[in-house]
Amino acid sequence: MRYSLTTLLGQALMGNRGWRQAWRRPDPKPDYDVVIVGGGGHGLATAYYLAKEHGLSRVAVLEKGWIGNGNVGRNTTIIRSNYLLPGNTPFYEWSLKLWEGLEQDINYNAMVSQRGVLNLYHSDGQRDAYARRGNAMRMFGVDSDLLDREQVRAMVPYLDFDNARFPIQGGLIQRRGGTVRHDAVAWGYARAADQRGVDIIENCEVTGIDVIDGRAVGVMTTRGPIKAKKIGLAAAGNSSRVAAMAGLRLPIESHVLQAFVSEGVKPLIDNVVTFGAGHFYISQSDKGGLVFGGDIDGYNSYAWRGNLPMVEDVAECGMALMPMLGRLRMLRSWGGLMDMSMDGSPIIDRTPVDGLYLNAGWCYGGFKATPASGWCFAHTIARNEPHAFNAAMRLDRFASGRLIDEKGAGAQPNLH
């Protein structure tokens, strides 16, 4: 059912009784051309683009719980392509372009809101590092502007300009960056993929991967065995567990990242603002809640919960940056499992097992990548080779040394 003004009005007149399921609830078929493990944003987008761009409709997305249960439904909703390194920038820029056309493409309003992403700098060195990044973005045709202190003040006057421990000197802004209603991304891709024949199968946990003579041929699930010509893993924080079913060990640790939302208030913060003297980023949702977050908790975890010191750290950064937040209340905190890679950048690649493909290592930046990740993973699966956009996101880059280490933090996931 296509969403349009006509259907909307028509349904309103008939008491909204005619709306149909946004996606079907099929039972798994015995075999598929492609099985995607993981019904999060990346898995659903992959299925959609497999169908749309590569004409594959015998595709299933297997989700152990409900779709969107993973990080697509528990992030701070920020989109941007302000990356430094050439292995990343074109990929994220492609993602941003896909975001810009998303609602028309999938006929679903995920509320892509290009409010601008402002990264603040607090020292000359940080200014120059942001200039380096802004210049690198310009080389890829990506918008970026370096603002001085007064330009930042004009834009976000409520920051602490007068009494800050680390005075704000300016910022790098990407005006095309912004936010998206995160759950709607999962639902929108699910609905669009479903309309193209993709089977979205919830409550279907993958318990094993069949590998015969070095080739993946199917999966075992809680709803029975399913054969597949190709299998794509998009399991985020559970990537290591799923890959282990095919005998693979990954350059990944699973860590918890917390995110927070405040009570809803009238419009207060118009942009996405990130602090440069601590780990903190914030925006305001269309519903009025301030959505914010900080650093990962910092140790391996599969427990979907966070710790108190990080909550305090995030609040401290928030108050240092925006002392007007003091009387606003944190309403809810939550934790997601991040697939922290060893250089802080993702992997979209084939694996040493034929027919098995990997999409993982998103650290805590996977949400913004959702469209391009799906698009590139679909390409990699369908063509059995990466697209130029994800050509650098190889699994063997750790062996070769072709790392994509934006921060230069080295092989320690909790520093990325």
Partner 1 sequence: MNDSSPATPPQRSSAPVTAMRLMDGGLIDRSRTLGFTFDGTRYTGHPGDTLASALLANGVRLVGRSFKYHRPRGILTAGPEEPNALVELRTGARREPNTRATTIELYDGLVAASQNRWPSLQYDLLSINGLAGPLIGAGFYYKTFMWPAAWWEKVYEPLIRRAAGLGRASGVADPDHYDKGHLHCDVLVIGAGPSGLMAALAAGRAGARVVLCEEDSRLGGRALLDGRRIDQRPAADWVAAIEAELAAMPDVRILKRTSVVAAYDHGTFAAVERNNDHLAEPPAFAPRQTLWRIVAQRSVLAAGALERPLVFPGNDRPGVMLAGAARAYVNRFAVMPGRRAVVFATNDDAALTVTTLAEVGIDVAAVVDARSEMSPAMEAAARMASALLITGGAVTRVRGSLGVEGVEIRSADGRKTRIACDLLCMSGGWTPNLHLTCHQNNRPVWDARLAAFVPGNLPSGMAVAGAANGEMSTRSAIMRGAELGVAAAVACGFRAASPDLPPTDEESTSSSPLWRVTGVTGKAFVDFQNDVTVTDIGLAHREGFRSVEHMKRYTTLGMATDQGKTSSINGLALMAELTERSIPDTGITTFRPPYQPVALGTLAGHHRGKDFRPTRLTPTHAWAAERGAVFVETGAWLRAQWYPESGERDWLESVNREVRTVRNAVGVCDVSTLGKIDVQGPGAAGLLDFLYANTMSTLPVGRARYGLMLREDGFVMDDGTVSRFAPDHFVITTTTANAAKVLQHMEHALQWLRPDLEAAVVSISEQWAQFSIAGPRSRDVLQRVVDSPEAISNAAFPFMAIAETTVLGGLPARLFRISYSGELAYEIAVAAGYGEALIRAIMEQGRDFGIAPYGTETLGVLRIEKGHVAGNELSGQTTARDLGLGRMLAKKKDYIGRVLQERPALLAGDRPALVGLRPVDTGARLRAGAHLVASGQEPVAANDLGYVTSVAFSPTLGHWIGLALLSGGPARHGERVRVWDPVRSGDVLAEVCDTVFVDPKGERLHV
Partner 2 sequence: MRIPCCYCGARGHEEFTYLGDATLARPSTEIGAPADDATAAAWHDYVYVRDNPSGRHRELWQHTGGCRAWLVVTRDTRTHEIHGVEAARDVALAREATHE
The distance of closest approach from Cβ of residue 337 to partner 1 in the complex, given in angstroms and rounded to an integer, is 12
Which segments of 71-177 are extended strands (E)? Answer: 78-79, 117-121, 145-148, 170-174
| Three-class SS state of 299 | strand
The tokens for 208 are: 């094993």
Contact between 48 and 40 under an 8 Å Cβ cutoff? The reply is: no
The tokens for 375 are: 């698009």
The distance of closest approach from Cβ of residue 183 to partner 1 in the complex, given in angstroms and rounded to an integer, is 5
The distance of closest approach from Cβ of residue 14 to partner 1 in the complex, given in angstroms and rounded to an integer, is 9
**Rounded CA separation 44/241 (Å):** 20
Contact with partner 1 (CB under 8 A): which of 13, 27, 30, 55? 13
* Residues 378-407 close enough to bind partner 1 by CB under 8 A: 397, 399-403, 405, 407
Q: Of 290 and 310, which CB lies nearer to partner 2 in the complex structure?
A: 310
Residue 236's nearest CA partner among 94, 23, 41 is 41
**Rounded CA separation 376/385 (Å):** 10
- Contact stretch for partner 1 (CB under 8 A) within 211-219, 222-230, 256-264, 373-381: 256-264
- Positive or negative: CA dihedral 95, 404, 147, 269: positive
Contact with partner 1 (CB under 8 A): which of 26, 331, 383, 384? 331
The distance of closest approach from Cβ of residue 411 to partner 2 in the complex, given in angstroms and rounded to an integer, is 5
Binding flag, residue 348, partner 1 (CB under 8 A): no
* C-alpha pair distances (Å), 86 with each of 70, 187, 196, 373: 28, 31, 34, 16
Contact with partner 1 (CB under 8 A): which of 27, 55, 165, 249? 165
HEC per residue, 135-149? HHHHHCCCCCEEEEH
Q: Of 324 and 415, which CB lies nearer to partner 2 in the complex structure?
A: 415
Binding flag, residue 154, partner 1 (CB under 8 A): no
Q: Of 131 and 382, which CB lies nearer to partner 1 in the complex structure?
A: 131
Q: How many CA atoms lie within 13 A of 367 on its CB side?
A: 27
Q: What is the CA radius of gyration of the chain?
A: 21
Q: Of 53 and 270, which CB lies nearer to partner 1 in the complex structure?
A: 270
The distance of closest approach from Cβ of residue 312 to partner 2 in the complex, given in angstroms and rounded to an integer, is 9
Q: Of 112 and 226, which CB lies nearer to partner 1 in the complex structure?
A: 112
The distance of closest approach from Cβ of residue 338 to partner 2 in the complex, given in angstroms and rounded to an integer, is 12
Place of tokens 């059995």: 384
Q: Of 57 and 414, which CB lies nearer to partner 2 in the complex structure?
A: 414
HEC per residue, 165-212? CCCCCEEEEECCCEECCHHHHHHHHHHHHHHCCCEEECCCCEEEEEEE
* Residues 106-135 close enough to bind partner 1 by CB under 8 A: 107-114, 122-123, 125, 127-135
Contact residues for partner 2, defined by CB under 8 A: 238, 240-241, 249-254, 298-303, 307, 309, 342, 398-399, 411-414
* Residues 277-306 close enough to bind partner 1 by CB under 8 A: 277-278, 284-288, 303-305
Binding flag, residue 207, partner 1 (CB under 8 A): no
Q: Of 110 and 353, which CB lies nearer to partner 1 in the complex structure?
A: 110
Question: 21 CB contacts (<8 Å, ≥6 apart)?
Answer: none
Binding flag, residue 225, partner 1 (CB under 8 A): no
The distance of closest approach from Cβ of residue 206 to partner 1 in the complex, given in angstroms and rounded to an integer, is 19
The distance of closest approach from Cβ of residue 212 to partner 1 in the complex, given in angstroms and rounded to an integer, is 33
Which one of partner 2, partner 1, none is in contact with 165 (Cβ closer than 5 to 8 A by kind)? partner 1
| Three-class SS state of 286 | coil
Q: Of 167 and 208, which CB lies nearer to partner 1 in the complex structure?
A: 167
Binding flag, residue 53, partner 1 (CB under 8 A): no
Q: Of 33 and 160, which CB lies nearer to partner 1 in the complex structure?
A: 160
Contact between 272 and 172 under an 8 Å Cβ cutoff? The reply is: no
Q: Residue 397 phi/psi, 5° resolution?
A: -70, -20
Contact between 365 and 354 under an 8 Å Cβ cutoff? The reply is: no
The tokens for 29 are: 């078929």
**Rounded CA separation 234/374 (Å):** 9
Contact with partner 1 (CB under 8 A): which of 30, 163, 213, 249? 163
Q: Of 8 and 212, which CB lies nearer to partner 1 in the complex structure?
A: 8
Contact between 61 and 36 under an 8 Å Cβ cutoff? The reply is: yes
Contact with partner 1 (CB under 8 A): which of 62, 136, 252, 337? 136
